[in-house]
Structure 1
Amino acid sequence: MRRETRGRDTRARRRARGAVLVTMAAAVALAAGCTPGPGTGDNGRAPEPERSHTTAPVTGPVLAVKVDNAPEARPQTGLEDADVVYAEPVEGGLSRLMALYATELPEEVGPVRSARESDLELLRQFDRPTLAFSGAQRKLLPLVDEAPLRAVTPGDAPDAYVRAGDRQAPHNLYLRPAELPAEPAGAGALTTGFTFGEAPGGGRAESSRTVDYPATSFTFTWSGSRDRWLVSLDGSPARSADGGRLAPATVVVQHVTVRESAFRDFRGSNSPYVESVGSGRAEVLRDGRTYEATWRRGTAEDGTTFTGADGGALDFAEGQVWVVFADGS
């Protein structure tokens, strides 16, 4: 399998870079339209009518990829190389992931799935990011066209996508970033508002934390030997395509308002809208402890800041960050 060789290469790269994401890599700069081509919708057919403290230079856009998280899509490919992974609710109580890449690009990412309205607000914090997705509800496409981002679908860049023969559509579409025109992005492109540093005082010891959606669960279990949180999805270990455990350094449970959007999927189910602008409570998991925090994002152009009980910035551990949006309404 092509993923086995890539897996060995990925482990070697990650051992070399250690816990600090300092590698400069490429992200995508493709100005494109947004109408998906045949076979790019969520059902495998054409869609129905319907701030970090870093001082690294910014030389290109962030690459954001919408990644399937249905059981049939696991194990996913390329998540272990993401700088940030957002987990968000979608129709039917299920979940979808958005993986952000600035310091390293994998050979493949996927399975790639469709975009949602709240993705556009979440991505406003970046300077014209590239969004790779496999289609969207037809009435949403004009909003994607108007958003300050570069959209890349299989219809826009067919050579950048491939379908795996060992899975059924729609859980078999993968992005190959190297096939897209690219420039180095660097950690400075990750204007998320996050800060990184030594662990703060206080907090409480935490060995495991679970976030439940109606039809999906995320569990993060602390591994002292790896200094990472091991991810489980629906009670099963979450692994990369080469068999390694997904293991972020920091996990954020961000309590947000989840409301109905103006859009429905092809089955007629309403698409949830995650309000990522505003403020609320959060829990930051790092170094085997949980810290109560307050999140704030004043405008869509701002990153999200996290403050501790003392009112100061709550630093994250160096390494990958997972943000799980939990309904706090």
Structure 2
Amino acid sequence: MRRARVLASTVVAASLVLSACGGDDKKSDDEKGPGAQEIAGGSVLDATWPLTGLPVKGEQSAAQEHPVIVAKIDNTASSSPQQGLGSADLVVEELVEGGVTRLAVMFYSKIPGEVGPVRSMRASDIGIVKPTGATVVTSGAAGVTIGRINKAGIKFIQEGGPGFSRNSSRSAPYNLFANLKQTVKATEVDEAARPDDYLPWGEAADLPQGQPAKTLAASFGSHTTNWTYDGKKYVNENTFAAEGDEFPADTVLVLRVKVGDAGYTDPAGNPVPETKFEGRGQALLFHAGRLVRGTWTKKGVGDTVSLATKAGELTVPAGKTWIELVPVDAANGDVTVGQ
């Protein structure tokens, strides 16, 4: 179950406003404007989506009656065409066995219909998912992984749950899909609540100048994801997404991470890697055809990410972000930048 959570800076800002106005001077709802909303306890929270930082429009609320939904989606040629990426708020690409990758595709502001192909969880997902309080949609996982996921307090819905079906025109295991509009009905929350921001959101004007970077290649060993800036967004040149359903990346955030051994092998005998998404490492933020270099910090698996340069705090421009968790080991991970 999730509880409404408020950023410390927001609470401070709200307190200052109340102090300046005096205890008896109360503003009407109209005076508060569209940029703020009342949540539990009477605190004021900026009306932005937690996975994008974008403003909430119209009568919508950033406090939803469902948690963040994270669908584990295959990212090999066998997954083509993937479904649902175009509706996602944020995507995290992670290393799995054999040097290929899998996607943790996050939905919150919009819950689509069918997504997939849905695949299994990894221990790496704990550090990716836990900060959101999300429910994971998955085909399942190895017993040792399920034990760790349960211990971490992460909820998941697996094959056999509402919304799951097999597509007879595809080969197993790449034929499992989930209709999230049905699956989300199985999630439970005490009351509508807004998760914490997944990244430190800001504005493009706040970014340091950086360096020209129109292309980048994030290598995970056997698989490399190639991006090109087309003047508006970053285009995934080798995406497996269905045409017209590609993820519209405003920013690509590369975080160099340590990778260990999960302690077991897959059915083919490949050792299963485990991304250590905590601690600190190098960060490369690609936005509007430029690269800003910095560092990332994440105190524990359940904590959110902080970014910084030598000059101070670094924020991510509000929008759709694709995160590449690229191993620091040169044998299994590399990042190539082109002007």
Interval of TM-score (by shorter of Structure 1 and Structure 2): 0.7 to 0.9
Judge conservation of contact 1:222–1:229 (CA < 8 Å) in 2. Answer: yes
Partner of residue 209, structure 2 = 202
Among 215, 223, 227, the residue aligned to 2:222: 215
Partner of residue 175, structure 1 = 178
Separation in structure 1 between the aligned mates of residue 210 and residue 89 of structure 2, nearest angstrom:
24
Residues 99 and 187 of structure 1, relative CA distance in 2, 3 Å threshold: farther
Which secondary structure state, in structure 1, belongs to the residue aligned with residue 129 of structure 2? helix
Report the AA paired with residue 311 of structure 1: G
Residue 245 (structure 1) shift: 4.1
Report the AA paired with residue 327 of structure 2: D
Structure 1 gaps of 5+ residues are 1-18, 27-54
Which secondary structure state, in structure 1, belongs to the residue aligned with residue 312 of structure 2? coil
- Aligned 1:1-329 pairs, distance under 5 A: 20=54, 22=56, 56-57=62-63, 59-127=65-133, 129-155=134-160, 157=161, 159-180=162-183, 181=185, 188-189=194-195, 191-199=197-205, 200-224=207-231, 227-233=232-238, 238=239, 240-312=241-313, 314-329=314-329
Residues 147 and 24 of structure 1, relative CA distance in 2, 3 Å threshold: farther
Separation in structure 2 between the aligned mates of residue 92 and residue 186 of structure 1, nearest angstrom:
41
Residue 24 (structure 1) shift: 9.6
Separation in structure 1 between the aligned mates of residue 316 and residue 269 of structure 2, nearest angstrom:
40
Normalising by structure 2, we get a TM-score of 0.74
Judge conservation of contact 2:262–2:274 (CA < 8 Å) in 1. Answer: yes
Residue 296 (structure 1) shift: 0.3
Residues 250 and 190 of structure 1, relative CA distance in 2, 3 Å threshold: farther
Which secondary structure state, in structure 2, belongs to the residue aligned with residue 247 of structure 1? coil
Structure 2 gaps of 5+ residues are 1-52, 330-339
Judge conservation of contact 1:24–1:187 (CA < 8 Å) in 2. Answer: no
Separation in structure 2 between the aligned mates of residue 99 and residue 260 of structure 1, nearest angstrom:
23
Report the AA paired with residue 130 of structure 1: T
Judge conservation of contact 1:60–1:189 (CA < 8 Å) in 2. Answer: no
Judge conservation of contact 1:23–1:104 (CA < 8 Å) in 2. Answer: no
Q: How high is the sequence identity, in percent, across the aligned residues?
A: 26
Normalising by structure 1, we get a TM-score of 0.76
Which structure's CA Rg is the greater one? 2
Which secondary structure state, in structure 1, belongs to the residue aligned with residue 128 of structure 2? helix
Separation in structure 1 between the aligned mates of residue 73 and residue 151 of structure 2, nearest angstrom:
22
Report the AA paired with residue 93 of structure 2: A
Higher RCO by CA contacts (8 Å cutoff, separation 6 or greater)? 1
Aligned length: 274
Residues 171-180 or 241-250, more deviating: 241-250
Separation in structure 2 between the aligned mates of residue 167 and residue 269 of structure 1, nearest angstrom:
24
Judge conservation of contact 2:131–2:304 (CA < 8 Å) in 1. Answer: yes
